[in-house]
Amino acid sequence: MKRTFFSLVIAQALLCGMTACQSDKGNLVLERQGDSLTVIRVSNPSKYLLLPVQESSGEGKVKLNTGSPADVAMDIRLAVDSIEYYVPFELPQNVKEVTVTVDKVSSQAVCWKNIQLSDTFDVANTDYYRPVYHHTPQYGWMNDANGLVYKDGEYHLYFQYNPYGSRWGNMHWGHSVSKDLIHWEHLKPAIARDTLGHIFSGSSIVDHRNSAGYGKDAMIAFYTSASDEHGQIQCMAYSNDNGRTFTKYEKNPILTPFDGLKDFRDPKVFWYEPAQKWYMIVSADKEMRFYSSSNLKEWEFLSGFGKGYGAQPNQFECPDFVQLAVDGNPENKKWVMIVNINPGCMFGGSATEYFVGEFDGKEFKCDTKPEVVKWLDYGKDHYATVCFSNTGDRVIAVPWMSNWQYANITPIKQYRGANALPRELSLYTKDGQIYMAANVVKEAQSLRKDARPIENFTVKGELEMDTVFSKMEGAYELEMDVTPGNARLVGFDLMNEKGEKSKIYLDMKEGRLVMDRTESGIVDLKRNGKFDVHAKETGNYRKTLSVNYQNDFALGTWAPLSLCEDKTYHLDIFVDKCSIEIFVDGGRIAMTNLVFPTKPYDTLRFYTEGGEAEFSNMKIYKLGM
């Protein structure tokens, strides 16, 4: 085999989107072994190998070689023609030499001239659309929230994470913690992809009873390992340092599908007091399955629920199962199954629905007929919603704020993926039915840095306010009461000087709350031709398709006003750099949508049709961290 050796001199490179600090520590030698296999030898290694990324290139296989059977190659889109940004590949410290192999990358690729060593990696924000107050990863890709748990004054938010690029891949559990659900501290990934596969979604509990034998109050994580070789299997890991690091159970997996099912993932574990056992609910293709255990390691199948229920077509994912008081009455509680489906959203793509009913320790029975659909959120960008465990009477959910139809192609590079604001869940009755409200948590009020009250006013025709948002910088909360009166339509536009606008209005004739983002800014999120898509879109982990995408972004979403109570509607609207979240009457309606205005919305235009409407108790808050 022909081999070519040469040294790579470390030089400061111009970084696109992300910058990294140069280090004069260490030495790189590249050894070619054919056209697509390269061995990188690093003597006296710095902390990171900085890898140039080009999102349109194919995935190379990058592996840290320690000689262990546990070594795993990561899929990284190394730059072939041009560099979009860099990602850090962490190297062992206090060793003389490190070997990294890179396969499936041409020897002519531009990455080889630009790979760098560094002891630091700059995560300062370089992206215009990074939210001001929503949780995002510092860099890389994020989707589903995982393992949400509260312990010792900290909320732990784990999440599906790719540290090696801003598109889906290399699933780890990323990790952030907060004391108030709003301000988040980023920590190192807690569970890394391994030889059993990607680390898919799951849950965490605090083992107060030491059921698993890892110590009283150990944190136990349950997740799906996913690969073409092993399929989708349920695994466990434990932590004795408050969730900072986890040790994987040596006898994983703890649960496999009894019928060889391909789509079998996202375990949610909870304590069921009447049986004095732990229960697990797992998504199993187009249903959910219940299991029970005394030791968290051995699981017994109980029942399934969901075939033919809810929106169709659907793929059940990311379940949760919680008990809530109806209308605040602790003597009247119902079980609620939260089901995230893809596809199935009434507006296309992914969404969250729920079922209210009874649970007898073995089977869940829904109160409504299979064809009845109840949505937790009426926007396009609310998915993978799951709840914190160990929070007492409060039930707090966190959604992923995107849609699988365009999640990989949003106009962002440094990171992709954000969480919507946490919501507190509750049950209420309306017209003989029980519904679930999802209201923004009260802790969000800590974001308010400035308040501007607006005197009550009446609109007949149009009214424009152009000075209200002069110092809001694209991150604000708009709170108001709207009384439609005799108007058949009443609403307002959030606008900027370029004419971009998001329209929010009450259509009284149709009985709907509507948000229209067809003119909101960048709306042409589509692509044609061949590209790689991930498991959520194809069922396979890697598959190249020829697809003609229609524009799934430029549309309006709507919710039925019949969920609300009065002739006056209380609206609480949160605007950030790339999102709008609407909560009506304490979350009876929630609507979450991404927007990409090229300048912040700084003007409000109110309007009515067919009559006049009253706007009262209006306040505008500047929001910030």
Element (H, E) at 34: none
What secondary structure letter does DSSP report for 446?
Answer: G
* Helices and strands of the chain, counted as H and E runs: 1, 45
Find all residues with CB under 8 Å of 158, minimum gap 6, and list them: 145, 146, 147, 148, 173, 174, 175, 190, 191, 204, 221, 243
Q: Rounded to whole angstroms, what are the CA distances from 75 to 33, 163, 205, 362, 535?
A: 19, 10, 31, 41, 14
Q: What ranges in 146-249 are assigned the alpha helix state H? A: none
Q: What is the gyration radius of the CA atoms in the chain, in angstroms?
A: 25
Q: Which residues pair with 568 in a beta bridge?
A: none
CA-CA distances (angstroms) from residue 539 to 159, 226, 362?
20, 11, 30
* Other Cβ atoms closer than 10 A to 89: 18
Q: Which two tokens stand for residue 460?
A: 């007949």
Cα→Cα distances 14→18, 122, 130, 137, 450, Å: 9, 13, 21, 23, 39
Distance between first and last Cα of the chain:
57
| Alpha carbon 254 to chain centroid, angstroms | 26
- Which residues are part of the catalytic machinery? 144
Q: What are phi and psi of 110, to 5 degrees?
A: -65, -20
Tell me which residue of 421, 444, 443, 437 sits closest to 590, measured CA to CA: 437
Cβ atoms < 10 Å from Cβ of 308: 10
Pairing, β 154-162 against β 433-440: unpaired
Are the beta carbons of 181 and 447 closer than 8 angstroms?
A: no
The pair of three-digit structure tokens given for residue 612, joined into one six-digit string: 């006049």
Candidates 557, 591, 597, 555; CA nearest to 576 is 597
Q: How far apart are CA 117 and CA 46, in angstroms?
A: 6
DSSP-derived letter for residue 407 is: G
**Residue corresponding to tokens 């072939």:** 80
Backbone torsions φ then ψ of 119, nearest 5 degrees: -95, -5
Q: Quick check: helix, strand or coil at residue 159?
A: strand
Q: At 69, which amino acid appears?
A: P
Chain-centroid distance, C-alpha 181: 15
| Distance of alpha carbon 370 from alpha carbon 276, whole angstroms | 31
Residue 179 has a CB neighbour count (10 Å cut-off) of: 12
Distance CA 203, CA 464 (A): 47
